[in-house]
């Protein structure tokens, strides 16, 4: 009997590629949503609910610019993730972290959407940290020669 190599390393590579594509698509969606949220905050800030005694109180136009910039950066980084660039993986985790922070700080202004975007960004971070597409699959083991 000879040892047959399993398809396990190829399955891991496919899994990593799939997670990176998932993160790229999710980051693109989160970025586009943040761009729209930023435009809403800049153009018409009466769309958002205001709370009078919020500790992190900023002008809603300022929040709009923050979300617009983060969204644009997220879209750019997601394009790099589609090419599986290492810099894009690091930048994707960083941008997703900043999106989580910005949405946490703007929870009182748009609570439901902030929670949804935080969940999106958490999945992005998870997908980028779990997948390791740069790993080379190990070489299949050779069968030991049979002696007389």
Has residue 85 been placed in a domain? yes
Residues sharing a CB contact under 8 Å with residue 51, sequence separation 6 or more, in sequence order:
57, 108, 109
Residue 9 within a domain: no
- What's this model's pTM, rounded to 2 decimal places? 0.73
Could you tell me if 75 and 32 are in contact, meaning their C-beta atoms sit under 8 angstroms apart?
A: yes
Tokens 């989160």 locate to: 30
Burial class (CB in 10 A: 0-12, 13-18, 19+), 110: buried
Measured CA to CA in angstroms, residue 97 lies from 39, 119, 134 at distances of 21, 11, 23
How confident is the model over 8-26, as a mean pLDDT?
A: 74
Average pLDDT over residues 116-139: 77
The answer to whether position 79 is within a domain reads yes
The domain of 114 spans 24-45+56-130
2 pLDDT higher than 60: no
Worst-scoring range by mean pLDDT, 23-27, 69-73, 86-90, 129-133? 129-133
Q: What distance in Å separates the CA atoms of residue 67 and residue 109, rounded to the nearest whole number?
A: 13
Residue 103 lies in a domain: yes
Total domains, the chain:
1
Number of other residues whose CB lies within 10 A of the CB of residue 86: 10
Average pLDDT over residues 59-67: 83
């Amino acid at each position: 009997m000879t040892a047959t190599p399993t398809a396990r390393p190829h399955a891991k590579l496919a899994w990593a590629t799939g997670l990176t594509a998932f993160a790229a698509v999710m980051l693109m969606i989160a970025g586009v949503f943040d761009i729209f949220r930023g435009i809403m905050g800049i153009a018409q800030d009466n769309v958002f609910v205001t709370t009078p005694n919020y500790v992190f109180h900023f002008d809603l136009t300022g929040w709009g610019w923050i979300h617009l910039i983060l969204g644009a950066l997220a879209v750019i980084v997601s394009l790099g993730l589609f090419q599986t660039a290492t810099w894009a993986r690091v930048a994707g985790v960083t941008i997703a972290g900043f999106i989580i922070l910005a949405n946490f700080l703007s929870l009182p202004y748009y609570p439901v959407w902030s929670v949804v975007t935080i969940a999106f960004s958490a999945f992005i971070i998870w997908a980028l940290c779990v997948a390791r597409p740069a790993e080379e699959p190990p070489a299949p083991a050779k069968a030991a020669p049979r002696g007389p």
